[in-house]
Amino acid sequence: MEFTAEMIAGFLGGEIVGNPQAAVHTVSSIEEGKSGSLAYLTNLKYESFLYTTGASIVLVDKTFEPTQEVATTLVKVENVGECIVRLMQMYAASKPRRKGISERASVAESATVEGDSYVGDFAVIEQGAKIGANCQIYPQVYVGPGVTIGEGTTLYAGVKIYEGCRIGKNCILHAGAVIGADGFGFMPNAEGGFDKIPQLGNVIIEDDVEIGANTCIDRAKTDSTIIRRGVKLDNLIQIGHNVQIGEHTVSSAQTGIAGTSKVGKNCFLAGQVGIADHVTIGDRVKVGSKSGIDKNVADDEIRFGYPALPGMQYHRATAVFKRLPEMDRTLRQLEKEIQNIKNNE
């Protein structure tokens, strides 16, 4: 689908400098821009690319004034970053959604698939499952018995949702995500082995949640593992049984949260964060990458390191750590001087 500069300016409330009929059908970076693409200038250190880009249209701030001749069409807007996101959302929404149930899908008689939903090849919808309207169930998805999926949700290829789990409205689960596998629960026995503890709960994912590829969210031992509204989880994340994650919290890849821990709302967990079991993290907490949390964290705190320390304490400790070789040499020299003084007494 093509969009002209005139259409884009009208949608964004922008001002056109150049050809209002210039058309684009894709988005690119300004340095990689080609004919038919829309690029954007959000950082002036990339301004030089504006004068050489092949992009047909470039978004710039309203206050921007070029210092050289510009061959491409400019659309001046209030906030380039926000506008490019709005345009990408508009472009994604314009793509046609699939409809209908494939003849090669397996849908149980007692399952419900509401109007205009799509169920792809070799998807399996088990008995008692309920799929809301306008859902997109891609090939090889498994939806277990009694699962409910809210309207407008997308399950990409290979997603697996185990029995009794609940997915909200307008969620996106990317390829290979597994929702509701057994939590890691075992008890030592008299023979030196381990007996499995049955995991009898489920997983509840509220509305507007996005789950990355190959992320696993375990079912609860009892009650529910809960992912609250608006949470965004990256690829390759492990969420243990009975964990609760608060609204609008985001986490980067390879984070692991052990069983029964609670993460508050509007938190940010960077990549490879580890959270021990039975830990409570408050609201609006920020945790740096590769940090390990083994104790409760209050609201609005910042943590770095392993084990994680408060932000300023971590930076002071890091400054000392960098000087350890120098401090070691100084200490050894002082020990020699003290020993010499003792020898001469």
Q: Render pLDDT for 27-60 as a digit per residue (tens, 0 to 9).
A: 899 999 999 999 999 999 999 999 999 999 999 9
**Same-domain pairing of 81 and 144:** no
- Count: domains in the chain: 3
**Same-domain pairing of 200 and 329:** no
Mean per-residue pLDDT of the chain: 94
Residue 320 has pLDDT above 90, yes or no: no
Residue 168 has pLDDT above 80, yes or no: yes
pLDDT at position 288: 94
DSSP secondary structure letters along 41-104 = --SGGGHHHHTT---SEEEEETT---SS---SEEEEES-HHHHHHHHHHHHHHHSPPP-EE-TT
**Same-domain pairing of 58 and 198:** no
**Same-domain pairing of 223 and 148:** yes
**Same-domain pairing of 25 and 88:** yes
**Same-domain pairing of 209 and 160:** yes
Confidence of residue 228 (pLDDT cuts 50, 70, 90): very high
pLDDT at position 69: 93
Domain end (from 78, 94, 110): 94
- Please state, in angstroms and as integers, the Cα–Cα distance from residue 155 to each residue in 240, 253, 272, following that order: 21, 19, 25
Domain end (from 94, 126, 153): 94
pLDDT at position 286: 97
CATH number, residue 221: 2.160.10.10
**Same-domain pairing of 66 and 182:** no
Residue 267 has pLDDT above 80, yes or no: yes
pLDDT at position 345: 72
Domain end (from 76, 94, 112): 94
Contact 255, 272 (CB under 8 A): yes
Confidence of residue 281 (pLDDT cuts 50, 70, 90): very high
CATH number, residue 31: 3.40.1390.10
Determine the average pLDDT of the residues in 319-331: 85
pLDDT in tens, 55-75: 999 999 999 999 999 999 999
Cis peptide before 307 (omega within 30 of 0): yes
Cα-based torsion angle of the residue sequence 310, 315, 320, 321 in order, rounded to the nearest 10 degrees:
90
**In angstroms, rounded to a whole number, what is the distance separating the alpha carbons of residues 53 and 343?**
76
Residue 292 has pLDDT above 90, yes or no: yes
**In angstroms, rounded to a whole number, what is the distance separating the alpha carbons of residues 242 and 234?**
19
174 SS3 class: coil
pLDDT at position 263: 98
Contact 84, 27 (CB under 8 A): yes
**Same-domain pairing of 192 and 339:** no
pLDDT at position 160: 98
Tokens of 262: 């609670």
**Same-domain pairing of 199 and 258:** yes
Domain range holding 292? Answer: 100-313
Confidence of residue 323 (pLDDT cuts 50, 70, 90): confident
Residue 302 has pLDDT above 80, yes or no: yes
Confidence of residue 248 (pLDDT cuts 50, 70, 90): very high
Which residues are part of the catalytic machinery?
241
pLDDT at position 306: 81
**Same-domain pairing of 202 and 332:** no
**Same-domain pairing of 72 and 188:** no
Whole-structure pTM value:
0.84
**Same-domain pairing of 82 and 121:** no
DSSP 136: E
Residue 171 has pLDDT above 80, yes or no: yes
